[in-house]
């Protein structure tokens, strides 16, 4: 599994995370939690049902960052 970022449309924190990850040359798969029920379920599991975006999942779930910058979203 590559890195995954859960997002919602028009989220300024998601845009900031996109720009940061692009500057770091980090490949990321974006998953819109508003368009796919499975993605929303994954997001809710990773965020302990808070649904905070962006949530960035790296290393097959071993590293989960909720919010960007960390702690925001």
Predicted local confidence at residue 70, as pLDDT: 72
Q: What confidence category does residue 3 fall into, taking pLDDT thresholds of 50, 70 and 90?
A: very high
Q: What confidence category does residue 71 fall into, taking pLDDT thresholds of 50, 70 and 90?
A: low
- The neighbouring-strand residues paired with 31 are 6
Asked if 30 contacts 7 with a C-beta cutoff of 8 angstroms, the reply is yes
For 15-56, write each residue's pLDDT tens digit: 999 999 999 999 999 999 999 999 999 999 999 999 999 999
Count of C-beta atoms within a 10 Å radius of residue 24: 8
Count of C-beta atoms within a 10 Å radius of residue 29: 11
CA distance 64 to 34: 20
Predicted local confidence at residue 2, as pLDDT: 79
């Amino acid at each position: 599994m590559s890195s995954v970022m859960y997002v919602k449309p028009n989220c300024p924190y998601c845009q900031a995370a996109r720009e940061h990850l692009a500057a770091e040359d980090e490949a990321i798969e974006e998953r819109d939690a508003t368009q796919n029920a499975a993605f929303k379920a994954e997001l809710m599991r990773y965020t302990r049902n808070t649904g905070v975006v962006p949530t960035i999942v790296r290393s097959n779930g071993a590293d989960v960052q909720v919010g960007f910058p960390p702690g925001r979203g």
